[in-house]
A and B are shown apart, each in its own frame.
Chain A
Amino acid sequence: MNIIEVVNLSKGFKAKKGTITAVKDVSFNVRMGELFGFLGPNGAGKTTTINILCTLLTPTSGKALLNSFDVVTNQNEVRQSIGLVFQEPSLDEKLTARENLEFHAMLYNVPKAVREERIKYMLEIVGLYDRKDDLVNTFSGGMKRRLEIARGFLHHPRVLFLDEPTLGLDPQTRNHIWEYIHQLRKKEEITIFLTTHYMAEAENCDRVAIIDYGEIIAIDSPSDLKKEIGGDVITVIAEDRDKAKKTIEEEYNVSVIANDEGLHFEVENGETFLPKFIKKADFKILSISLRRPTLEDVFLKLTGRRIREESAEANTALKIHARRLMR
């Protein structure tokens, strides 16, 4: 059964010159209970899609149902069905942790009789109960995120949207956040809709949609997506790059993608292939590596680009945003 159904969804924004289409004719379903991931570089349309699904934006065309409610005509029912953790913090820092959750519980009609207990329960799970009466502006970035996750689960939503939930957090905190999410996922019957440009996070998903320039270019489980790559990924750095590329392509009948990091191609049985390859090569090899394919390779194969190239830009944007906040 599908908890989210999206059919031919498009969204354009008016710009100085004509319109920018952020989401182009996108269709997909999310199954009840799964951990569904949206993987793509910044500006691919991930957040726009989420904003449409959570009623913050109206689509230009197409249809989206969430928990069988239309996101345009049944906004309140959709909103009651979802929890959200936004890319950027959305807490009231002048209120305490408990008050932030209380505010949320009141807006989402959590009955008064169970409100306090539910707040306590959620705070305990994310390890913030002993800080419940502290103002949020005394919290670290990781603590704020945990509080937001507690808030997202608070009103028993059917779908929890996590929009880049670990952006800007250090790897250790990132792992902690995921522990909390997995723990909560076991306890509550919930579907999780994640957007990320971290490969490791996408690998954890039941299914992943790869999105680029507003279009879904592949959708499947991470293992099936990786099967598209024919076996193992070989990366070669050669002295004469062009010659090497031409030779490999002709000799082994594979397509070679060249970028700053070297020449990439796929072979079925990497371990036995490498010795033969090195022996036979008539060009000078500076370095060679072999690894199992990742979703990054899938993205590279489908688009010819890497996701990471754009994430540096995202970091800059984040810094600018932080600076603006501090002023």
Chain B
Amino acid sequence: MSRNLMGIYTIWLRDVRRFWRDRPRIIGATIQPALFLFLLGTGLGRGIAGAFGNGIRGDYLTFIYPGIIGMSILFTSIFSAISIVWDREIGFLKEVMVAPIARWAVAVGKAFGGSTVAVFQGSLMLIFAPFINVHITPAIVITLIPLIFLIAFSITSIGIVVAARMHSMQGFQIIMNFLVLPMFFLSGAMFPITNLPRWMGILVAINPLTYGVDALRGVILGFSNYSLIANMSIISGFGIAMIIAAMIIFGRTE
């Protein structure tokens, strides 16, 4: 067992090290959400001024801010998980697969690595708070970190399940179009989810990120559709199911 714990730690350490070293990636992953927030947010906010009033305090920019943090977590987590496919292409995955640790430990190490990186990247979004008049207290930060970790862990696990059987990066576009973008659009990050057509409401309800964004909004802005406990339970449940699936899929040998 200690051997597998060491394996998890080793794989985690590699991911964190690589992330820390890849400054262009960190900058890119910070600028992209900033564009959504300040350009799309400002423009859209002006265009639909007045349409937002009921039940939403503050303006549109404030409303989407937690959603943009959610987006940052989503993208960072998925990219971390998909790096497995890249590792397979460059041959490095073999080095991990023949190491004397259980295969499930590889999946768990990857999930922890992706979550840690996403916590860092998600927390980095907090630097935008002063520009949109959101006041972040230390208490909020203390609640946010484990929350972000939980959301990231669930999403990284989904990514690992997908990446476990992918043999080339060519499938990446498919993942973007059929998994990442729908998860983002259907999470309530950019609009309220209370007044949607029925089919869309169902999709929103089965999207784990919905509960993540709702929880983030609750903690940062003080209003949400569900309680923090409910949100965190749903994310945790989903995360546990996904990491178990990832461990099983990863454990199989040809």
Contacts and interface: CB of A to CB of B under 8 A. Distances in A.
Given A79-B99, A94-B22, A107 B94 contact: no
A91 B93 CA distance: 9
Interface in A47-76: 54-58, 76
A164 to B, nearest CB: 13
A79 B100 contact: yes
Contacts of A151: 95
B130 interface: no
Contacts of A106: 6-7, 9-10, 13
Q: Say whether chain A's binding surface is mostly helix, strand, loop, or mixed.
A: loop
Interface string B1-18: 001001101100110011
Interface stretch (A36-44, A81-89, A249-257, A298-306): A81-89
B98 A54 contact: yes
Interface of B: 3, 6-7, 9-10, 13-14, 17-18, 21-22, 87, 89-92, 94-102, 253-254
B206 to A, nearest CB: 34
Nearest to B7: A107
Nearest to A92: B92
A248 B139 CA distance: 96
The 9 closest A-B pairs by CB, nearest first: A107-B99, A79-B100, A90-B91, A80-B100, A106-B10, A76-B100, A90-B95, A88-B91, A90-B94
Main secondary structure of the interface of B (DSSP, over half): helix
A145 to B, nearest CB: 13
A89 B96 contact: no
A90 B99 contact: no
Contacts of B94: 56, 84, 86, 90
19 contacts: A55-B98, A56-B94, A57-B254, A79-B98, A79-B99, A80-B100, A84-B95, A84-B98, A90-B91, A90-B94, A92-B92, A93-B90, A94-B21, A94-B22, A103-B10, A103-B14, A106-B7, A107-B101, A325-B90
Given A89-B91, A90-B94, A57 B100 contact: no
Interface residues of A, number: 29
A84 B18 CA distance: 24
Given A56-B94, A56-B254, 13 more contacts: A56-B98, A76-B102, A77-B100, A79-B99, A90-B94, A90-B95, A91-B92, A91-B95, A92-B14, A99-B17, A103-B13, A106-B7, A109-B3
Contacts of B254: 56-58
Nearest to B14: A103
A104 interface: yes
B37 to A, nearest CB: 30
A103 B96 CA distance: 10
Interface in A83-138: 84, 86, 88-95, 99, 103-104, 106-109
A316 B22 CA distance: 34
B92 to A, nearest CB: 5
B100 A94 contact: no
Nearest to A58: B253
B95 A104 contact: yes
Interface in A194-225: none
A245 to B, nearest CB: 47
A95 B95 CA distance: 14
Contacts of B96: 107
A55 B89 contact: no
A108 B95 CA distance: 11
A109 B98 contact: no
Contacts of B3: 76, 109
Contacts of B91: 86, 88-91
A77 B3 CA distance: 12
B10 to A, nearest CB: 4
Contacts of B100: 76-77, 79-80, 107-109
B10 A107 contact: yes
A99 B10 CA distance: 11
A84 B99 CA distance: 10
A82 B87 CA distance: 21
Contacts of A107: 6-7, 10, 96, 99-101
Contacts of B92: 90-92
**Among the interface residues A57, A84, A106, which one has the most CB atoms of the partner chain B within 10 A?**
A106
Contacts of B90: 89-90, 93, 325
A326 to B, nearest CB: 12
Contacts of B102: 76
Contacts of A89: 90-91
Nearest to B253: A58
Nearest to B10: A106
Greatest chain B CB density within 10 A among A86, A92, A99 is at A92
